[in-house]
Chains A and B, each alone.
Chain A
Amino acid sequence: MTQIGLDPGRANDFTPREPVFQVRDLAVSYSGNLAIRDVTLEVYEKAVTAFIGPSGCGKSTLIRCFDRMNDLVPGAKVEGEVLYHGQDLYAADIDPVEVRRRIGMVFQKPNPFPKSIFDNVAFGPRVLGLKGDLTERVEQALQQAALWDEVKDRLKESALGLSGGQQQRLCIARCLAVEPDVILMDEPASALDPISTTRIEDLMHELKQQYTIVIVTHNMQQAARVADMTAFFSVEVAADGKRTGVLVEYDRTAKIFTTPSDQRTEDYVTGRFG
């Protein structure tokens, strides 16, 4: 495992700001089966961090630790430490609902509610009783998600009538409407066509000015395009055949895709894995 300790880098390299998440010795198991272990890394604010790796390497399991989604899986157990702005996310006094308000998530398949476009975005602020003008808040979220111009004349129409790419941007707008701090994206573009994918990637570039973004992707070139930092995870197979994800290397994206330190990373990004 490569411990994070960034060298000064080249002149045009990404410079990390404050850590938003500090993960130490994290291990997650489902009903006693270890899904991922020994993860130590920091996620930096107002940057895009990508998790890449083969199927079963635990990258989705890890991202779900950041908003305590694994709490909802029966038999799931999270060990180690996940600090969010220095605070233990798994401390007894932490309310998972409050965590998920600050840390939004966008999933692989767009999952709008079977409601109007407006109501989808207004849903979070209404439930949370957020103050301020709701219409304004919805418009702002749709603007930020680069969807406003396409839907402003049909806000009362069903969200299910939107295209896949529009639905995904609606889900991002829904996430932004509650003013989160972090946006987690689990394969946000894998169900989309190339043009919609480009729009989501451009959007990430815009959003990272204001938000911290963590993305899980199995599209390596997507990670290379959008991420400032990239973590590569691999699968270790034990003698009894049990497979566990491990963090192999975590560094600037430029480093991972030009001069990775670990041979396993090199083999994976160059397509020589397996």
Chain B
Amino acid sequence: MRISFQEELDALERLLHAESELVLRSLRGAVEAVCAQDVELADEVIAFDDDVDAQYFEVEQGIELLLARQTPVASDLRLVLAMLKDNLHLERMGDLCVTIAKLTKLTKGLPPDQTLLDGFREMGERAEQMIRVALRSLEQRDRIAAESLLELDELIDRANRRIVNRLLEMGHEIEQREWGLRMILVSRCLERIGDHAVDIGEQTAYLVTGEFREFTDASH
């Protein structure tokens, strides 16, 4: 029994979960900042990304060391590979939150549209739920829960499409045009966070079944 190896694996998994908590904080901050047009909060989100990145590097280096020293195989190997990819997906989610925060700063003082802001709140909540489901499915090695992310992704995609349609309606209102153009990107960022959550779910399915498979080609 390789006790120290198992402990290292467990510790890495805990780090990954801690990283997801940081990403969730970042996501909540980014959505709140854009909806409240709160530039200070946006700055905080941008600065907070250093914490997410630090956690990302810690997981990355831990995996590098584990691969070099322990040569994991079978389900251990699949777990390490899944964590390696999940780590990158989480870090990307953090980056998307930063993009939302930057767009918030760029649109300071421009007139917003309440329907869109409500849409962002909905997308933010859905993205948060997807991250939780993704991480819980990893923790519990639950393939069914991981696959349910596909349905959740459809909901966030629909919200994204509604936002784009609303923006098209707004196209003729000159003063809202710049705000609207930037907000298309915010919507896109939230939708992409959902895609990363689906990708984490795919890694869980791989970990459990040993089969590489995309849930659907349409998830991107």
Binding site for B on A (CB under 8 A): 220-221, 224, 257-260, 265-266, 269-272, 274
**Nearest CB of A to B75, in Å:** 6
22 A-B pairs whose Cβ atoms sit less than 8 Å apart in the complex: A224-B73, A257-B74, A257-B77, A258-B73, A258-B78, A258-B210, A259-B78, A259-B210, A260-B74, A265-B74, A266-B74, A266-B75, A269-B73, A269-B74, A270-B2, A270-B72, A270-B73, A270-B74, A271-B1, A271-B2, A271-B5, A272-B2
What distance in Å separates the Cβ of B214 from its nearest Cβ neighbour in chain A?
16
- Given pairs A224-B73, A271-B1, 8 additional interface contacts (CB within 8 A): A257-B73, A257-B74, A265-B74, A266-B74, A266-B75, A271-B5, A272-B2, A274-B1
Q: List, in ascending order, chain A residues with CB within 8 A of B73's CB.
A: 220, 224, 257-258, 269-270
Could you tell me if A272 and B210 are in contact, using CB atoms closer than 8 angstroms?
Answer: no
- Expressed in whole angstroms, the minimum distance between the Cβ of A27 and any Cβ of chain B is 29
A259 to B5, CA, bound (A): 19
- Chain B residues with a Cβ under 8 A of chain A: 1-2, 5, 71-78, 210
User: Main SS of the interface on chain A?
Assistant: helix
Q: Chain B residues near A274: list those with CB within 8 A.
A: 1
Given A271-B5, A274-B1: A259 touches B74 (CB 8 Å cut-off)? yes
Across-interface contacts of A258 in B (CB, < 8 A):
73-74, 77-78, 210
8 Å CB contact of B76 from A220, A221, A224, A270: A270
In the bound complex, residues from chain A placing their C-beta under 8 Å from that of B2 are 270-272
A50 to B148, CA, bound (A): 41
Which residues of chain B have C-beta atoms less than 8 A from A265's C-beta?
74
- Complex-state Cα separation, A258 to B75, whole angstroms: 7
Residues of A within 8 A of B72 (CB): 270
Query: Which residues of the other chain, B, contact A257 by a CB distance below 8 angstroms?
Result: 73-74, 77
Residues in chain B near residue A220, CB distance under 8 A: 73
A224 CB contacts on chain B under 8 angstroms: 73
Q: How far is the CA of A78 from the CA of B76 in the complex (A)?
A: 38
Report whether B78 and A272 are in contact in the complex, using a CB–CB cutoff of 8 Å.
Answer: no
Minimum C-beta distance from B133 to chain A (A): 25
Across-interface contacts of B76 in A (CB, < 8 A): 270
Task: Write the nearest CB–CB distance from B185 to chain A, whole angstroms.
Answer: 38
Minimum CB–CB distance from A272 to chain B (whole Å) comes to: 6
Residues of A within 8 A of B77 (CB): 257-258
Residue of A nearest to B71 (CB): A221
CB distance from B10 to the nearest CB of A (A): 14
Give Cα A224–Cα B210 distance, bound, in whole angstroms. Answer: 18
Shortest CB-to-CB span from B3 to chain A, Å, is: 10
Contacts of B75 in A (CB 8 A): 266, 270
Which of B1, B2, B5, B74 has the largest number of chain A CB atoms within 10 A?
B74
Give Cα A60 to B213, complex, Å: 39
Residues of A within 8 Å of B74, CB to CB, are 257-260, 265-266, 269-270
Q: Give the chain A neighbours of B71 by CB distance below 8 A.
A: 221
Top 10 closest pairs, chain A to chain B, by CB: A259-B210, A271-B2, A257-B73, A269-B73, A270-B76, A266-B74, A270-B74, A269-B74, A260-B74, A272-B1
Residues of chain B within 8 A (CB-CB) of A260 are: 74
- A58 nearest CB across to chain B (Å): 23
* Residue of B with least CB distance to A221: B71
- A225 to B: closest C-beta gap in Å: 10
Find chain A residues with CB under 8 A from B78 CB.
258-259
A259 to B212, CA, bound (A): 11
CB distance from B212 to the nearest CB of A (A): 9
Highest count of chain A CB atoms <10 Å: which of B2, B5, B75 = B75
A82 to B76, CA, bound (A): 36
| B54 CB to nearest A CB, Å | 30
In the assembled complex, which residues on chain B have CB atoms less than 8 Å from the CB atom of A269?
A: 73-74
Q: Which residues of B contact A266 (CB under 8 A)?
A: 74-75
With CB as the reference atom, state the residue of chain B lying closest to A257: B73
Of A257, A259, A271, A272, chain B has the most CB atoms within 10 Å of the CB of A271
Measured between beta carbons, the chain A residues less than 8 angstroms from B1 are 271-272, 274
| Minimal beta-carbon separation of B62 from chain A (angstroms) | 18
Give CA–CA (A258, B77) in the complex, Å.
7
